[in-house]
Structure 1
């Protein structure tokens, strides 16, 4: 196991440090202090390494588009309707940054900050620990929190991202995620990827992508991923995905939330989560060129990757039975998302 730290570049007046975690199997991940974002997930491939993520070589590129590429998202992932909610009889207004709604924590969410960091290591795991004191004045959410994001890589080729928040004397909200984009194939499209999701329903959305409260059955729709399904064909049939799936029995440990597999190479990523939602996004309607780089400079293109965001269901604070995202005053919440790499052939 090994940890490598180096200055990557400067962005917006901040020095950005890249932390690389390596295990004994040739698997490594890299994350950046800016945005606590996940830059690389490298696995052995022939004589070299394969980056399973869409990524950029420099920090500026992550902030030159609106796709939240591999950024940590918080305090709350997804949309909050009308940038407003009610709690214990009190009305709260939040920063509105998309069609009058709050999206991914507003304009000053987790990805806006250069995080403090430390590292830890033992025989079978290495970790990068990011921490930030985030005040109400910084992001517009009620209450101050101490936020912690921990990336851990093990010798079992598992990557766990743990998101924690410690509140102060006012209730707040907490529902973070990793906005990671995957493509484990050797192609500049989704053609050889198969996806399986542990879900029998997805959320009905209005014209602003806000949940109506109704859950739709996946049967006989392009959203049926109960068995492995070709992602490119489903994506074409659905005209792209920006879809919130309701996860069956989250956190029970019996079935993973999702499995993404490249049928050609056998590379496979299994996602486990302790929450009830998985948002899939394939960048529908993106016209402007976004020149991601992966595999040591090879350009990727819009629509090449799939974002799989484990979280509590969107707009949970305004919807019954979508999950509890309230961080009580002086309380602490921790959520974990685990990504396991395997090669099946």
Structure 2
């Protein structure tokens, strides 16, 4: 499948191509990750918005399968990094080694150099190692001994953390959580999907027989194309009002940042194009607000003690904040 991109605003023809291609990608990943279409769509949206996603899940819910299926679908490479307390930053990024035969230092790339990187149980590594990973996520390049090495496109980190077992873990600070474009959860499959998974239990890896449906270069072109989706001033105003509501809410100590607003708009552009539209509507923002904004909130102590979740706060704010009903007046 080839890209269909040109410079300038997205056309109706390009939007139709984008939607068809996005649907094909979702269906292909869905062959391995059964019954989780919405999470697959969110993950692909994060990839095409050139961001990263945090999955908070119990073990055995298919996180590794999702990362491998995504890499196979976009004809990219896949690496899994098991984060442990003794993991060093160089174990992630790579290291420079002196070659005695040639008399020069050579850079040996670490596992971060892949299209899709699964950072498993990121909260088990030391803050120094977490920071090394998050720096690469932000910069899309590794700098060692003054030399920069780009990680390429597409590049996506799928980080996971276990929400149940917290002993011996290093909690991600709010500033680092803010660098993830989205946070969501795979959860357990429904009954029908579980039965289907059990029926195919003879195949230990459902991604082994998967074929790519798009080239890595075409994925980069799709990301560029999504960036050209039109966002009206009224939509930007709506996103800003949502963020401001999270900051002034009685149950939060810290609301969504400007980075969070930018992330929501970037994701909404991809979501709109995936629906075959060259423009964003309020429903795109509503669909993504919980996944994009929730992990950026810090709750008030009393609200946290009462069992209130950030997701509930964002959902309430969505119901209380009136979306735009018409385009902003052009002057």
TM norm structure 1? 0.27
Bigger Cα Rg? 2
| Greater share of helix | 2
Which protein, 1 or 2, shows the higher relative CO under an 8 Å CA cutoff with sep ≥ 6?
Answer: 2
TM-score normalised by L of structure 2 = 0.28
Structure with greater strand share of residues = 1
